[in-house]
C-alpha cells in the first residue's frame, strides 16, 4: 500500500512540476470569453474576432462561450461563488454594481491601454466605475427612439422631428392625439419593464429621481421634472386614448405585429429593434427612425452600456485585458455595433461612415450618441429590489389608471427609501 501511495504521490508531483514548468516557460494559456451576443450577425462578428485573435496569438488562446441575457445575473453569481467564472465577461453596466462591490470583478484601472481609456468618453466610463475602480469596459450603447409608420405620418401632415429639431414631450402628446381615431392609436407603449424606460427617458426633462447626499447616501425624490414622462404616458393612455392600455404589459417585440398592421403610428423602442423590423416588416411597409421627445435638458437620456469585464479570480488578467483591447479596436468595435444594431461607445468608431447613412436610421441614432448619459440608477445599491418590489408595480398601476400621481409619488419615495436604506447602513 505504501509503495502504491508513494508512486502515486511521485506521479502527482511530476505532473505538478510539469504544469509549473510549462507556466514558467510561457506555454500557451486559454482564456474563456463568455459572450451574450444572440443575433446571428452579432454571434458571427464575435466568433470571427476570436478566430482572428487566435490566429495571431499562439500563446494566448481564447475559447468562445455562449451565454444568455435571460439568465446572466444568476448564472454569473453561481459561477463566481463556485470558482468557475469565465475570464472575460460580457454583461451590462447596470448589472455590475453588486459584482464589483462583492469582489467578483477585477479592477481594470491599471490594466487598460491608454488608447482604450482615451477612446471612450468619460460619461461612458462612469457607468462601469464603482468607488475608485473600473470594473468593466463599456462598448455598446442603445438609445431609445421612436419607430414610426412613415406613410401614416405623411398622410396626417405632421412635421417630422430630427435630432436638431425634436418634438417636445407636449408636442409629442398633441401629435399622438392628432394621429388617433377609429380604433387606431398614435403610439403604443410596450412597458412590460417600465422602470428603466421611464427613468432613462426622464433625463430629457431634467428628472434624476435618485439624489446622493453629502454622506453618500441615496434617497428618492419624485419631483416635477421626474413626473413629465410618466404623466405623458399616463395621459396618452387614460385621458387622450391615443395609446392603448393593452400594450402596457407587452415587450417591444409584442407590439410589432400591430405596428405592421396599421394599429399604431409609432412605437418607442430600443435602437436595436430595427433589426427585427427589417426582418419582419411586410413588403412595401415604410418606416423611419425618429428621436425620442426632448425636454428641459434636450435629448438627454440614460443608457446602461454593454460591458466587458475580467473575473477577479482569473489567473490571466493581463492577457484578458489585452484581448478586450483587441476586441475593442475602433474597426472591431464598429463590427460589433453593426452585428448588434447598436452604437459603439468609442469616439473613433462613431466616426465611421457606415454609421452615418440614412439607411435603417443609422444616422439618426448616431446623432443621439452625444446625448447619452449614465442611467440614473447606475450606481445605486439596492436598485434591483427597489425596481422589482416598489417601482415596477407602482408604475404599472399608475400607467393603467389604477392609482393617481400622488399615490405613485408616495410609493416611490416612502416605500422606495425604506428599501434603499437597508443597503446604506
C-alpha cell at 40: 446571428
Give dist(CA 160, CA 36) in Å, integer. 35
- What's the CATH number of domain 144-303+377-421, 3.20.20.60, 2.60.40.10, 3.40.50.720, 3.40.190.10? 3.40.190.10
Q: b/e per residue, 330-359, with b = 16+ CB within 10 A?
A: bebbbbbbbbbbbbbbbebbbebeebeeee
What DSSP designation does 178 have? H
| Mean pLDDT taken over the chain | 92
Predicted confidence (pLDDT) per residue in 219-235, tens digit: 999 999 999 999 999 99
Predicted TM-score (pTM) of the model is 0.89
User: At 26, is the pLDDT very low, low, confident or very high (cuts 50, 70, 90)?
Assistant: low
Question: Element (H or E) spanning 276, and its range?
Answer: helix 274-280
CATH architecture for segment(s) 18-135+306-344: 3-Layer(aba) Sandwich (3.40)
pLDDT bin (cut points 50, 70, 90) of residue 39 is confident
SS3 content of the chain, % helix, strand, coil (to 5): 50, 15, 30
Q: Do the Cβ atoms of 187 and 399 come closer than 8 Å?
A: no
**Mean pLDDT score, 382-389:** 90
* Spatial separation of the C-alpha atoms in residues 238 and 211, rounded to whole Å: 30
pLDDT the model gives residue 13: 39
Going from the C-alpha of 362 to that of each of 143, 181, 190, 335, the distances in angstroms are: 12, 31, 22, 14
- What stretch(es) of the chain map to CATH 3.40.190.10? 18-135+306-344, 144-303+377-421
Q: Tell me how far CA of residue 340 lies from CA of 42, 44, 139, 352, in angstroms.
A: 5, 10, 11, 16
Cα distance between residue 195 and residue 253, in whole Å: 18
State the Cα–Cα distance between residues 243 and 186, nearest whole angstrom: 6
pLDDT at 6 over 90: no
- The CA radius of gyration of the chain, in Å to the nearest whole number, is 24
Pairing state between β 301-303 and 372-374: parallel
Centre a 10 Å sphere on the Cβ of residue 377 and count the other Cβ atoms it contains.
24
Residue 283 grid coordinates? 413588403
Amino acid at each position: 500500500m505504501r509503495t502504491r501511495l508513494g508512486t502515486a504521490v511521485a506521479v502527482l508531483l511530476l505532473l505538478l512540476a510539469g504544469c509549473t514548468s510549462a507556466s514558467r516557460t510561457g506555454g500557451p494559456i486559454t482564456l474563456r470569453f463568455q459572450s451574450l451576443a444572440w443575433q446571428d450577425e452579432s454571434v458571427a462578428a464575435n466568433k470571427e474576432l476570436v478566430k482572428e485573435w487566435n490566429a495571431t496569438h499562439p500563446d494566448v488562446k481564447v475559447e468562445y462561450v455562449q451565454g444568455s441575457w435571460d439568465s446572466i445575473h444568476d448564472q454569473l453569481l453561481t459561477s463566481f461563488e463556485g470558482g468557475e467564472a469565465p475570464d472575460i465577461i460580457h454583461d451590462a453596466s447596470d448589472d455590475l454594481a453588486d459584482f464589483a462591490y462583492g469582489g467578483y470583478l477585477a479592477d481594470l484601472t491599471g490594466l487598460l491601454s491608454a488608447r482604450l481609456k482615451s477612446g471612450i468618453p468619460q460619461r461612458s466610463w462612469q457607468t462601469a466605475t464603482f468607488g475608485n475602480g473600473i470594473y468593466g469596459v463599456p462598448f455598446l450603447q442603445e438609445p431609445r427612439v421612436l419607430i414610426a409608420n412613415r406613410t401614416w405620418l405623411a398622410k396626417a401632415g405632421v412635421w417630422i422631428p430630427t435630432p436638431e429639431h425634436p418634438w417636445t414631450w407636449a408636442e409629442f402628446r398633441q401629435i399622438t392625439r392628432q394621429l388617433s381615431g377609429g380604433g387606431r392609436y398614435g403610439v403604443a407603449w410596450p412597458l412590460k419593464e417600465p422602470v428603466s424606460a421611464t427613468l432613462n427617458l426622464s433625463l430629457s426633462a431634467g428628472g434624476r429621481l435618485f439624489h446622493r447626499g453629502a454622506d453618500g447616501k441615496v434617497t428618492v425624490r419624485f419631483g416635477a421634472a421626474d413626473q413629465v414622462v410618466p404623466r405623458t404616458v399616463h395621459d396618452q393612455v387614460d385621458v387622450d386614448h391615443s395609446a392603448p392600455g393593452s400594450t402596457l404589459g407587452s415587450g417591444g417585440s409584442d407590439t410589432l405585429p400591430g405596428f405592421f398592421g396599421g394599429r399604431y403610428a409609432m412605437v418607442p423602442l430600443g435602437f436595436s429593434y430595427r433589426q427585427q423590423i427589417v426582418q419582419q416588416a411586410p413588403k412595401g411597409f415604410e418606416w423611419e427612425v425618429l428621436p425620442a421627445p426632448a425636454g428641459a435638458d434636450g435629448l438627454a437620456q440614460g443608457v446602461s452600456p454593454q460591458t466587458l469585464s475580467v473575473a477577479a479570480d482569473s489567473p490571466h488578467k493581463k492577457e484578458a485585458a489585452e484581448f478586450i483591447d483587441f476586441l475593442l479596436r475602433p474597426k472591431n468595435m464598429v463590427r460589433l455595433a453593426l452585428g448588434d444594431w447598436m452604437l459603439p461607445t468609442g469616439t473613433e468608431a462613431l466616426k465611421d461612415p457606415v454609421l452615418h447613412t440614412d439607411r435603417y436610421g443609422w444616422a439618426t441614432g448616431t446623432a443621439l450618441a452625444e446625448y447619452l448619459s449614465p442611467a440614473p440608477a447606475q450606481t445605486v445599491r439596492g436598485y434591483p429590489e427597489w425596481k422589482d418590489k416598489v417601482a415596477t408595480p407602482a408604475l404599472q398601476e399608475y400607467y393603467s389608471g389604477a392609482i393617481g400621481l400622488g399615490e405613485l409619488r408616495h410609493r416611490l419615495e416612502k416605500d422606495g427609501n425604506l428599501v434603499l436604506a437597508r443597503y446604506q447602513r
